[in-house]
Amino acid sequence: MNYPFSAVLGMDDMRLALLLNAVSPAIGGVLVRGEKGTAKSTAVRALAALLPPVDRVAGCRFGCDPAVPDPGCPDGPHPTAAPAERRPARLVELPVGAAEDRVVGSLDLEKALAEGVRAFEPGLLAAAHRGVLYVDEVNLLHDHLVDLLLDAAAMGRCHVEREGVSVSHAARFLLVGTMNPEEGELRPQLLDRFGLTVEVTASRDPAVRVEVVRRRLAADADPAGFAVRWAEADAEVARRVAAARRRLDRVVLPDAALRQIAEVCAAFDVDGMRADIVTARAAVAHAAWQGRERVTAEDVRVAARLALPHRRRRDPFDSPGLDDKRLDEALDRAREEHPDDPDDDGGPGPGGGPTGPDHDDPSGPGDGDRPGPEHDDGPGDPTGPGTGSDGPDRGGDDVTGTAAPDGPATGQPRHGARAASTQPVAVPDQGLRARLLTATGVGDGVPGRRSRARTGRGRTTGARLPARRAGALHLPATLRAAAPHQHGRGRRGGPLVLRPTDLREAVREGREGNLVLFVVDASGSMGARQRMAAVKGAVLALLTDAYQRRDKVAVVAFRGTGAQTLLPATSSVLAASTRLADLPTGGRTPLAEGLLAAADLLRVQRLRDPKRRPLVLVVTDGRATAGPHPLDRAARAAAVLAASGASCVVVDCESGPVRLDLAGRLAAQLGAAHHRLTEVATAPLADLAAGRPTGSRRPIPGPGGTRALSATTITGSVA
pLDDT at 413 over 50: no
What pLDDT band is residue 598 in, cutting at 50, 70 and 90?
very high
User: Where are the alpha helices (H) located in 249-385, listed in sequence order?
Assistant: 255-267, 274-289, 297-307, 324-337
What percentage of the chain reaches a pLDDT higher than 90? 19
pLDDT on residue 520: 86
pLDDT on residue 49: 84
What does the alpha-carbon distance between residue 599 and residue 640 come to, in Å, rounded to a whole number?
A: 7
Which is more confident, 347 or 521?
Answer: 521
Average pLDDT estimate for 672-679: 75
pLDDT at 597 over 90: yes
- What does pLDDT average to over the chain? 75
pLDDT on residue 243: 94
Residue range(s) in the chain whose domain bears CATH number 3.40.50.300: 5-242
Q: Which of 21-30, 397-406, 490-499 has the highest mean pLDDT?
A: 21-30
What does the alpha-carbon distance between residue 53 and residue 36 come to, in Å, rounded to a whole number?
A: 31
Letter for the amino acid at 368?
Answer: G
Which is more confident, 493 or 452?
Answer: 452
The H or E element spanning position 197 is: strand 196-200
Average pLDDT estimate for 14-35: 90
Average pLDDT estimate for 594-611: 90
pLDDT at 241 over 70: yes
- β-sheet bridge partners, residue 674: 650
pLDDT on residue 71: 87
What pLDDT band is residue 365 in, cutting at 50, 70 and 90?
very low
Contacts of 59 (CB under 8 A, 6+ apart): 75
What pLDDT band is residue 692 in, cutting at 50, 70 and 90?
very low
Distance of CA 431 to the CA centre of its chain: 28
Which is more confident, 219 or 533?
Answer: 219
Give DSSP secondary structure letters for 6-59. Answer: GG--S-HHHHHHHHHHHH-GGG--EEEEE-TTSSHHHHHHHHHTTSPPEEEETT
pLDDT at 278 over 90: yes
What does the alpha-carbon distance between residue 575 and residue 675 come to, in Å, rounded to a whole number?
A: 30
Let me know: does 427 contact 49? Beta carbons within 8 Å. Answer: no
pLDDT on residue 34: 83
Which of 90, 259, 274, 665 is catalytic? The answer is 274
Which is more confident, 70 or 429?
Answer: 70
pLDDT on residue 39: 82
Let me know: does 341 contact 255? Beta carbons within 8 Å. Answer: yes
Distance of CA 564 to the CA centre of its chain: 28
pLDDT at 521 over 70: yes
**pTM of the entire predicted model:** 0.64
pLDDT on residue 686: 41
Which is more confident, 267 or 182?
Answer: 267
CB-facing half-sphere around the CA of 80: CA atoms within 13 A: 0
pLDDT on residue 508: 79
pLDDT of 537-551, one tens digit each?
Answer: 767 777 777 777 778
pLDDT at 143 over 80: no
CATH number, domain 5-242, options 3.40.50.300, 3.90.220.20, 3.10.520.10, 3.20.20.10 = 3.40.50.300
Dihedral sign, CA of 323, 140, 102, 91?
Answer: negative
pLDDT on residue 587: 87
Average pLDDT estimate for 137-164: 80
Which is more confident, 302 or 115?
Answer: 302
pLDDT at 592 over 90: yes
Average pLDDT estimate for 22-29: 90
What pLDDT band is residue 683 in, cutting at 50, 70 and 90?
very low
What pLDDT band is residue 713 in, cutting at 50, 70 and 90?
very low
Average pLDDT estimate for 372-384: 36
pLDDT on residue 150: 82
Which is more confident, 484 or 284?
Answer: 284
Distance of CA 651 to the CA centre of its chain: 33
pLDDT of 201-230, one tens digit each?
Answer: 888 888 888 988 899 899 999 999 999 999
What CATH number has the domain spanning 512-707? 3.40.50.410
pLDDT on residue 494: 67
pLDDT at 341 over 80: no
What does the alpha-carbon distance between residue 33 and residue 182 come to, in Å, rounded to a whole number?
A: 10
What pLDDT band is residue 678 in, cutting at 50, 70 and 90?
low
Longest dimension (CA), the chain: 92
- Mean pLDDT lowest among 38-52, 199-213, 360-374, 668-682: 360-374
Average pLDDT estimate for 278-302: 94
What does the alpha-carbon distance between residue 716 and residue 407 come to, in Å, rounded to a whole number?
A: 47
Residue range(s) in the chain whose domain bears CATH number 3.40.50.410: 512-707
pLDDT at 651 over 60: yes
Q: Which of 349-353, 592-596, 615-619 has the highest mean pLDDT?
A: 592-596
- Active site includes 274? yes
Q: Which of 487-501, 595-609, 683-697 has the highest mean pLDDT?
A: 595-609
Let me know: does 32 contact 176? Beta carbons within 8 Å. Answer: yes
- Mean pLDDT lowest among 158-162, 361-365, 602-606: 361-365
